[in-house]
Chain A
Amino acid sequence: MAASSKPKQNKKNNKKSQDDRYEIRLSGSGGQGLILAGVILAEAIGVGDGKNVVQTQSYGPEARGGASRADLVISDGEIYYPKSMKLDLLLALTQEACDTYYPDMKERGLLVVDSNMVTQIPTKNYYGFPFSRLAREEIGHVMVANVIAMGAIAELTGIVSMASIKEAVLSRAPKGTEEKNSRALELGAKVARAAKK
């Protein structure tokens, strides 16, 4: 074994401290599939698009309910601090999540909310989509609200390529739900495209 008592010098250290970090938080309540959405998004960005990404999560001891969130830090360079510092993008699926995490955003960060669930919005600079209602009425399954949200995020930010997010969603989708998940993703992108205009 090449174990040595000589301290190993970390060579990757001539970087600026916070350059090119892009930070995302997906938040809502337990059971909405936000941590899974975080994992899928990280896989699409890290494996599909080849960027550096760290995904962390925070949740309470409850199986359902309680605040739940997944954080992603994305960078072309080395990522040291794995949690987010100032959010570039906040997705809030509940009013409580929006209230709790809005102060963690950068001044010019992007807020995306479920417009049916979040009615008191602390800024004018935001996008609202009825993710849960779209999931229920257009796709026929409330569980895909998180996938619709990912489609919208991909379209709004370009932080992940459509091809990678689709591949990542489908690789994790239970058998028989591929079609629903694809449609959900495309629906998210579609409503986001329309909102951007």
Chain B
Amino acid sequence: MAQSKNSVRRLVQGNEASMLGALYAGCNFFAGYPITPSTEIAEGMARMLPKKGGRFIQMEDEIGSMGAIIGASAAGAKTMTATSGPGFSLMQENIGYAYITEVPCVVVNVQRGGPSTGLPTKIGQQDTMQARWGTHGDYTAISVAPASVRECFEQTVKAFNFSERFRTPVTVLSDEVLGHMREVITLPEEGEIEIINREKPDVPAEWYHHFEATPNLVSPMAGFGEGYRFHMTGLVHDPEGFPTADTNEIRKKLSKLRNKIVRFSDELVQLETTMMDDANIAVVAYGTAARAAQQAVLMARDKRIRAGLIRPITIWPFADDQIRALLKGIKTVLVVELNMGQIVHEVDRLAHRHCKVESLNRFDGEVLDPVEIFKRILEVK
């Protein structure tokens, strides 16, 4: 039997895996502005999309890139852009537009050290909170953080699924080490991972409301040019999409943006634990830092220290209920991040006096060494 070409073991780079995951999810439009360390995603898309009948556009800057993927998505395409910290900052204005107009799209942020131009070729996890609060106003964000090349693929697929299911932009929080790292993986076969596409309207065009309230709060979405009339604006709007100053409508719209995600967060939470069953010290880490933390937890176990690892894969919404439950019976929780402390505040909120919260931070462009984490475990246990 002929072996399918996908089932072959291949050495794949993290950024390449993000690109392949996007194509697997059905992405057919990419607009971007190259920036280290994300450029391989744009390069791959420029090579692959035209072959698949899709479109690649190199835009004049990042805000233009964001505008292009919102517009293309509003016209029915599945769209993505890729960037790093400085570009992510420039995209924020239009990301807000995508939240309020409820346009699905995916932003891959291959994080480097900041602020500003910062450390172009060095790792950081300094955009974790920006992914949650980067644009102004009230909204609820969805972000995922892969920790391996395989997850770069899978989580990009998930990001598309989440964005289509919830009609909202989704951020993939990758990082420089992960983006440039190569591991041997077997790419999933077609059909192996479920692909979710946005719900389309099934009502006659004259009944169609682009932002109609529905039981799950996500409105079926017609594309421009598909025969439905609708209006899109960044102003707070009514279900038809026209600006409103009616306090009831305003409250309804903003609550919808929040509740369509918060009420269904169980569909979004992805969490991996290692040796938490009998742990009395928990390490919380995500992305590349979690790889070092996992090694450190195993080193601690070698010394009969009952350490365990909690690794959020979905960062936003934060896995409140699950992590609160995991922290029961834990004496100390150590939060390990490649920033000056961002997720630690979320963990602190959940630990809420039940256990001691400690942190270990590195922000000099290098990954934490497992030995550094292990030593910190010894200090705080």
Docked CA distance A10–B288 (Å): 17
A195, CB-defined interface residue at 8 Å: no
Q: A5-B266, A16-B298, A47-B184 are in contact. List 8 more A-B contacts (CB 8 A).
A: A1-B161, A7-B272, A17-B299, A60-B121, A80-B291, A80-B298, A82-B288, A83-B292
Nearest residue (CB) in B for A40 is B11
Nearest residue (CB) in A for B178 is A82
The total of interchain contacts (Cβ-Cβ below 8 angstroms) comes to: 119
Minimum distance in angstroms from B67 CB to a CB of chain A: 28
**For A2, A5, A82, which residue has the most chain B Cβ atoms within 10 angstroms?**
A82
A3, CB-defined interface residue at 8 Å: yes
A42, CB-defined interface residue at 8 Å: yes
A130, CB-defined interface residue at 8 Å: no
Docked CA distance A47–B182 (Å): 12
A173, CB-defined interface residue at 8 Å: no
A55, CB-defined interface residue at 8 Å: yes
Minimum distance in angstroms from A5 CB to a CB of chain B: 4
Structural contact, A59 and B121, CB atoms closer than 8 A: yes
- List chain B residues, Cβ under 8 A from A81: 291-292, 294-295, 369-370
Q: Mark B289-322, 1 if CB is under 8 A from A, else 0.
A: 0011011001101100000011000000001011
Docked CA distance A5–B28 (Å): 30
- List chain B residues, Cβ under 8 A from A60: 121
Size category of the A interface is: 35 or more
A197, CB-defined interface residue at 8 Å: no
The 5 closest A-B pairs by CB, nearest first: A17-B298, A46-B184, A81-B295, A5-B266, A17-B299
The one of B182, B272, B309 in contact with A54, judged by C-beta atoms closer than 8 angstroms, is B182
Docked CA distance A56–B177 (Å): 7
Structural contact, B11 and A42, CB atoms closer than 8 A: yes
Interface residues of A (CB under 8 A from B): 1-10, 13, 15-18, 39, 42-43, 46-47, 50, 52-61, 79-83, 85
Nearest residue (CB) in B for A39 is B182
Minimum distance in angstroms from A150 CB to a CB of chain B: 15
Structural contact, B194 and A2, CB atoms closer than 8 A: yes
By DSSP majority rule, is chain B's interface helix, strand, loop, or mixed? mixed
Structural contact, B194 and A7, CB atoms closer than 8 A: no
- List chain A residues, Cβ under 8 A from B161: 1
- List chain B residues, Cβ under 8 A from A83: 177, 292, 367, 369
Structural contact, A5 and B181, CB atoms closer than 8 A: no
Q: A10-B273, A17-B299, A80-B294 are in contact. Are A5 and B184 (CB under 8 A)?
A: no
Structural contact, A53 and B180, CB atoms closer than 8 A: no
- List chain B residues, Cβ under 8 A from A10: 272-275, 309
By DSSP majority rule, is chain A's interface helix, strand, loop, or mixed? loop
Q: A1-B194, A8-B272, A16-B298 are in contact. Are A46 and B11 (CB under 8 A)?
A: yes
Structural contact, B273 and A85, CB atoms closer than 8 A: no
Structural contact, B269 and A5, CB atoms closer than 8 A: yes
Nearest residue (CB) in B for A81 is B295
Q: Mark B232-276, 1 if CB is under 8 A from A, else 0.
A: 000000000000000000000000000000000111111111111
B120, CB-defined interface residue at 8 Å: yes
Size category of the B interface is: 35 or more
- List chain A residues, Cβ under 8 A from B328: none
Nearest residue (CB) in B for A5 is B266
The one of A6, A16, A50, A82 in contact with B181, judged by C-beta atoms closer than 8 angstroms, is A82
Docked CA distance A18–B301 (Å): 12
Docked CA distance A5–B268 (Å): 7
Q: A5-B266, A5-B322, A17-B295 are in contact. Are A39 and B184 (CB under 8 A)?
A: no
Docked CA distance A46–B149 (Å): 14
Docked CA distance A104–B130 (Å): 35
B75, CB-defined interface residue at 8 Å: no
Docked CA distance A80–B369 (Å): 12
- List chain A residues, Cβ under 8 A from B265: 5
- List chain B residues, Cβ under 8 A from A46: 9, 11, 183-184
The one of A2, A3, A56 in contact with B180, judged by C-beta atoms closer than 8 angstroms, is A56
- List chain A residues, Cβ under 8 A from B295: 17-18, 80-81
Structural contact, A8 and B194, CB atoms closer than 8 A: no
Docked CA distance A18–B331 (Å): 26
Nearest residue (CB) in B for A6 is B322
B90, CB-defined interface residue at 8 Å: no
B129, CB-defined interface residue at 8 Å: no
- List chain A residues, Cβ under 8 A from B194: 1-2
| Interface residues in B326-372 (C-beta closer than 8 Å to A) | 326, 367, 369-371
Q: A5-B322, A13-B275 are in contact. Are A47 and B369 (CB under 8 A)?
A: no
Structural contact, A7 and B302, CB atoms closer than 8 A: no
Structural contact, A3 and B270, CB atoms closer than 8 A: yes
- List chain A residues, Cβ under 8 A from B302: 16-17
B200, CB-defined interface residue at 8 Å: no
B47, CB-defined interface residue at 8 Å: no
Structural contact, A61 and B184, CB atoms closer than 8 A: no
Structural contact, A18 and B184, CB atoms closer than 8 A: no
Structural contact, A61 and B121, CB atoms closer than 8 A: yes
Structural contact, B301 and A17, CB atoms closer than 8 A: yes
B10, CB-defined interface residue at 8 Å: yes
Docked CA distance A40–B210 (Å): 51
Minimum distance in angstroms from B6 CB to a CB of chain A: 14
- List chain B residues, Cβ under 8 A from A52: 184
- List chain A residues, Cβ under 8 A from B158: 3
B48, CB-defined interface residue at 8 Å: no
